A and B are shown apart, each in its own frame.
Chain A
């Protein structure tokens, strides 16, 4: 089992460019999550999908969109990147809402 995989590992964007971060899990989990991690601010939830077919906003959704493509995949899209979106992005999955989450290795994004 690969667990939770994320692509790409690193990305540099110019302001205004768009990109999609990909996340997949092979644990047959129902719930998936996107976080960003910034120094001194811990992890902040961007969007989540409690089950296939549903998505909801988290704490910091502005500037992002998500798609729960199927049970395995949950993508995060930046439509028009801004320097404030420079961060490390983590995807996570859980067997059910509220249970322990399993994290991917992260994507380090820099917006110049």
Chain B
């Protein structure tokens, strides 16, 4: 069975500093990978996705993620964060060959950007 582990539940960082949110997954098959952001009292918004092709994926709001198959990781990075990036971030994985195509979500990482 697939699982997703987000290695940090909370990440505090100062404005304009770089940030990395870590995500590891367990799967014996090829997967699709996603990062979502949730601002307070809102639904989840897709930041970026990896389906195939280049392992470096660029998303919205200056975020990018790198798919590393050998390490089964999909870490999210941003070179310089803003106060407005304060939110909860979720990593998710799906198996394109599985029935129903469910997404398996990690527990989330709270990013807190301080001035």
Contact = CB atoms under 8 A, between A and B. Distances in A.
Interface stretch (A12-20, A62-70, A76-84, A93-101): A93-101
B contact face: mostly helix, strand, loop, or mixed: loop
Interface in B68-106: 90, 94-96, 98-103, 105-106
A95 to B, nearest CB: 10
A50 B100 contact: yes
Interface size grouping (class) on chain A = 20 to 34
Contact of B44 (A40, A48, A90): A90
B94 A98 contact: yes
A100 B50 CA distance: 10
Contacts of B34: 100
A49 to B, nearest CB: 9
Nearest to A48: B100
A92 B100 CA distance: 14
B95 A98 contact: yes
A43 interface: yes
A98 B96 contact: yes
Given A42-B90, A104-B43, A99 B101 contact: yes
A41 B105 CA distance: 10
B98 A98 contact: yes
A21 B24 CA distance: 34
Interface in A27-61: 31, 33, 40-43, 45, 48, 50, 56, 58
A105 interface: yes
A69 B43 CA distance: 23
Nearest to A98: B101
19 contacts: A31-B101, A33-B102, A41-B107, A42-B105, A42-B108, A43-B44, A45-B102, A45-B103, A48-B102, A50-B99, A50-B101, A58-B102, A90-B44, A94-B101, A98-B32, A98-B96, A100-B49, A103-B44, A106-B43
Top-5 shortest CB links A-B: A97-B101, A98-B101, A103-B43, A98-B94, A103-B44
